[in-house]
Structure 1
Amino acid sequence: MEKTWVFVLSRWFALTIFKLYFRIEFEGAQHVPLNGRVILAPNHVSFLDPIWVSTPIKRPLRYMTWDKMTRLPLLGALMKAYGAFPVNLEKSDRQALKFSLTHLRNDGGLVIFPEGGRTRTGETLPFKAGVIKLALDTQSPVVPVTIIGGYQAYSPHHYFPRPYKLKIIYHEPLHLAAPQDAMQLKAFMQSEADRLQKIVDGALPKRALAC
């Protein structure tokens, strides 16, 4: 995905709206490299998460999204402009996985939600090891990302976003190396997923639930 005028314009539009409506703040965006393969791994609280996370990054990022979301009139169009590609959540989607591998190996940037779905309570769901496997398979650094205020602004229980203040924190990237003993790989990947979650959760307020 190249940096087209559509990307630049949609990014400027989203940034303007988000600053006015959500008073959004970004911290640590410099930790995302401007080129080369990279995975961004945020907590998942809203359909708008990928757009919030992508807005300050001066390079195109791709991310998986529910295939039904890409068919929505306005939000679907904005998601596509921001690099969304559809994934079928009702069954294993090998095509989406293949696309992710190819995109990273071509030095692309990818947003992946390690929880595998949005939280419905405001508390982070357990991180799955899939993001770690993808990072190891493609030798991609992983940038942990914490979304603060997203659940209060636009949780699965809200039909329309609320003007709640947002803060997005980009942590220092993790550079992973698989253990030499293949028998330890599964445990290693889950251990690294747990470490990733501790970094993301560590920046959340003590009480991040909706009122």
Structure 2
Amino acid sequence: MNLYKLGKALCSVIFYPMYRIKVIGRENIPAKGPVIICSNHISNVDPPVVGITNNRNIYFLAKEELFENPIIGGILKRVHAFPIKRGMRDRNALRKGLEILKKGNALGLFPEGSRQKSGEVGKGLAGAGFFALRSEAYIVPCAIIGPYRKFKQLKVVYGEPIDMSQYREEKASAQVVTDRIMEEIRQLHKIHQ
């Protein structure tokens, strides 16, 4: 068993009962082909929670600082995470994300870039729009509705894939596309709160 599958199994055993996770809309995630799962970000636990609540193996971008510790960095790499420099355009991370999608894999993004401790859905950074426009991936919005409290229900809601064809044809800006994705996440959050 590889480390990703082992991690997914362990996190499922711990987090499903601890947070009484309820998943809505899992069927909206395409079983095959490139997909970008874009979620709001309220906790450090969000990546494993998104990872265990769907059937795809997801590659996540993670802040570069986490990889500075050789042990943590080694584990993160083995569970499909790769580093991104925050606050600047990181060409290596962008290239790596596009390669992942080109191979038909799933990429997990938290467009807000940092946690929104209030639980509200914040403004997204243009990176999500960049990946959406530069790939043929399905874009699946995801709303994590917390807070993370032991034995209180946490909802993870996956919306229907967002049609990007018009945005790609019009050569829309990455920020415009990210704003659309964030609006979808906001609507899921509002409807299922």
TM class, shorter-length: 0.7 to 0.9
CA distance change for structure 1 residues 26 and 72 in 2, over 3 Å: closer, same or farther?
farther
Equivalent residue, structure 2, for 1:30: 27
User: Which amino acid in the other structure matches residue 111 of structure 2?
Assistant: P
Contiguous gaps of at least 5 residues in structure 1: 154-161
Equivalent residue, structure 2, for 1:175: 163
Residues 140 and 175, structure 1, Cα contact 8 Å, conserved in 2: no
> How far does the alpha carbon of each residue in 1:88-116 deviate from its partner, in whole angstroms, 9 at most, with x for none?
22543221111011111111110111212
Contiguous gaps of at least 5 residues in structure 2: none
Describe how 1:77-156 pairs up with structure 2 within 5 A.
79-89=76-86, 91-149=88-146, 152-153=147-148
Indicate the percent of aligned positions where both proteins have the same amino acid.
29
User: Which amino acid in the other structure matches residue 36 of structure 1?
Assistant: G
Equivalent residue, structure 1, for 2:189: 204
The alpha-carbon deviation at position 82 of structure 1 amounts to: 3.4
Work out whether 1:58 is the aligned partner of 2:50: no
Name the larger-Rg structure.
Answer: 1
TM-score normalised to the size of structure 1?
0.78
Structure with the higher helix share, 1 or 2: 2
User: Which amino acid in the other structure matches residue 195 of structure 1?
Assistant: R
CA distance change for structure 1 residues 87 and 123 in 2, over 3 Å: closer, same or farther?
same
The alpha-carbon deviation at position 137 of structure 1 amounts to: 0.8
Corresponding residue to 1:193 among 146, 158, 178: 178
Aligned-residue Cα RMSD (Å) equals 2.6
User: Which amino acid in the other structure matches residue 109 of structure 1?
Assistant: A
Number of corresponding residues: 190
The alpha-carbon deviation at position 17 of structure 1 amounts to: 0.4
Residues 37 and 107, structure 2, Cα contact 8 Å, conserved in 1: yes
Tell me how far apart the structure 1 counterparts of residues 87 and 103 of structure 2 sit (CA, whole Å): 28
Tell me how far apart the structure 2 counterparts of residues 90 and 179 of structure 1 sit (CA, whole Å): 25
> How far does the alpha carbon of each residue in 1:126-176 deviate from its partner, in whole angstroms, 9 at most, with x for none?
123331221121111100000010xx32xxxxxxxx414211011111121
Equivalent residue, structure 2, for 1:69: 66
Tell me how far apart the structure 2 counterparts of residues 75 and 148 of structure 1 sit (CA, whole Å): 27
Tell me how far apart the structure 1 counterparts of residues 50 and 189 of structure 2 sit (CA, whole Å): 15
Tell me how far apart the structure 1 counterparts of residues 51 and 89 of structure 2 sit (CA, whole Å): 26
Tell me how far apart the structure 1 counterparts of residues 60 and 75 of structure 2 sit (CA, whole Å): 13
Give secondary structure in 2 for the equivalent of 1:14.
helix
Residues 60 and 82, structure 1, Cα contact 8 Å, conserved in 2: no
User: Which amino acid in the other structure matches residue 179 of structure 2?
Assistant: D
Equivalent residue, structure 2, for 1:159: none
The alpha-carbon deviation at position 180 of structure 1 amounts to: 4.4
User: Which amino acid in the other structure matches residue 165 of structure 1?
Assistant: Q
Tell me how far apart the structure 1 counterparts of residues 14 and 74 of structure 2 sit (CA, whole Å): 16
Residues 54 and 82, structure 1, Cα contact 8 Å, conserved in 2: no
